[in-house]
Structure 1
Amino acid sequence: MKLLIGDKNYSSWSMRPWLLLTHFGIPFEEVLILLYEADTNAKVLAQAPRGPGKVPCLIDDAGQAVWESLAIAETLAERFPQHALWPRDAAARAYARSVSAEMHSGFGELRSNMWMNIRASFPGKNAKPGVLADIARIEAIWGDCLQSYGGPFLFGEFSIADAMYAPVAMRFNTWKPALSATTSAYVERLTALPAVSAWIDSARRETHAIPYQDVCP
């Protein structure tokens, strides 16, 4: 399989399926396509012509393309049932799907104002009311999951839900908003996970820059 991804420093959507493949030891070829270049969409469409020309995009051995991070995660869970990408318990799995879908479609204020830029440091900036409301909701989700399922990750062991929220942890590392002790400890555990650490190390070695994302007004 091939996974088309964008810059590791900036591409929060690409991070999610990459973490799942890497953490669970599923073999794949990484294809890096630099974001916001004149030929970015064309390069994606050349390999996945039925899609929207965006990353991430998973292409299987038969050439079937799957795009959108949550769709890729569901496909991997279906194809590799030997790995507990979703919790095995049905009730926990339903909850994990719900909070993952909420991450996929929501938290617009956080996305717009505290974008993912692993190499940057913007401590205390852009803590606007809408952003703080998003953070409060995320903290409520994380706190409930960690209390209900005992940690160290949201549903015990690392799962799709953790992969979906990993870019949020990267945002928190960059922007450093005020967080609860429970949230901060979870961010630290997630950051230290070998797959996450490997992604961060690669992001820091990248040299391609997207100038408007490297400054905070």
Structure 2
Amino acid sequence: MTKLTLILGNKNYSSWSLRPWLLMKQFKLDFDEVIISLYNPESKPKIQQYSPSGKVPVLLHDEITIWDSLAICEYLTEQFPNYHGLPEDKKARAIARSISAEMHSGFPNLRQNMPMNCRAKLPRKVITSEVQQDINRITDIWRYCRGNFGSGGDMLFGKFAIADAMFAPVVLRFITYSVELDSVCKDYANAILALPAMKEWIKAAESEPEIIPSFEL
């Protein structure tokens, strides 16, 4: 196998880094990690050594550089098609791509008001109506996918796929901020949290010494 290296931000805070990392773990790929601490004066120059966008994550595959979480996940699915990063059914695949793109580009109020923080518990965070709208849309997606495509397992499309990697940081946000979930969404969230790779990520996040104050409110 050719060499894979994933450039990441802090595991406690970097939701974008979690997405391709989790997919690679679920694909059981052998890869190296380079973790760059974010939001300090040295961060951007270090990231720019690898990333033309100046952001993480970045995947290095031999002489190829791929940046952006969703682009990395799509690339890995092309390179390793036997792992089925996308559903085989045409309709399910179309929905999976759509919700992954929606997660990638949407939900700004949730992102701004509920940043990922694996080791924190912030149950008293005020949920504004705008944030609640984002939460409602996400849970609608989860219920729809589980109800229409989830019969083959406990993930959104039965088996773990890119869409699950895209929504995994949201699961962690919902835990941190004690978001109430119905039984379908709670079961899905618990299935994500039960993945050995998620447990590995959370354990590493909890042991990181760095603190980003703006993510601790």
Is this a same-fold pair by TM over 0.5? yes
The residue number in structure 2 matching 1:23 is: 26
Structure 2 Cα separation of the partners of residues 60 and 76 of structure 1: 10
**Equivalent residues of 2:9, 2:56 under 8 A apart:** yes
| 1:135-146 alignment, distance < 5 Å | 135-146=135-146
The residue number in structure 2 matching 1:10 is: 13
> Cα offset for 1:88?
1.4
**Equivalent residues of 2:50, 2:58 under 8 A apart:** no
One-letter amino acid of the structure 2 residue matched with residue 20 of structure 1: L
One-letter amino acid of the structure 2 residue matched with residue 68 of structure 1: D
The residue number in structure 1 matching 2:68 is: 68
Gaps of 5+ in 1: none
| 1:66-105 alignment, distance < 5 Å | 66-105=66-105
One-letter amino acid of the structure 1 residue matched with residue 139 of structure 2: E
Gaps of 5+ in 2: none
Report SS of the residue matched to 1:38.
Answer: coil
Structure 2 Cα separation of the partners of residues 6 and 184 of structure 1: 28
**Equivalent residues of 1:124, 1:177 under 8 A apart:** no
Cα distance per residue 1:153-190 (max 9 Å; x no partner)? 00000100000000000000100122212111111111
| 1:131-210 alignment, distance < 5 Å | 131-149=131-149, 150=151, 151-210=153-212
CA RMSD of aligned residues (A): 1.0
Structure 1 Cα separation of the partners of residues 158 and 180 of structure 2: 25
Structure 2 Cα separation of the partners of residues 212 and 95 of structure 1: 34
One-letter amino acid of the structure 2 residue matched with residue 10 of structure 1: Y
Structure 2 Cα separation of the partners of residues 85 and 190 of structure 1: 16
Identical-pair percentage? 47
Structure 2 Cα separation of the partners of residues 127 and 211 of structure 1: 20
**Equivalent residues of 2:11, 2:205 under 8 A apart:** yes
Report SS of the residue matched to 1:3.
Answer: strand
Report SS of the residue matched to 1:136.
Answer: helix
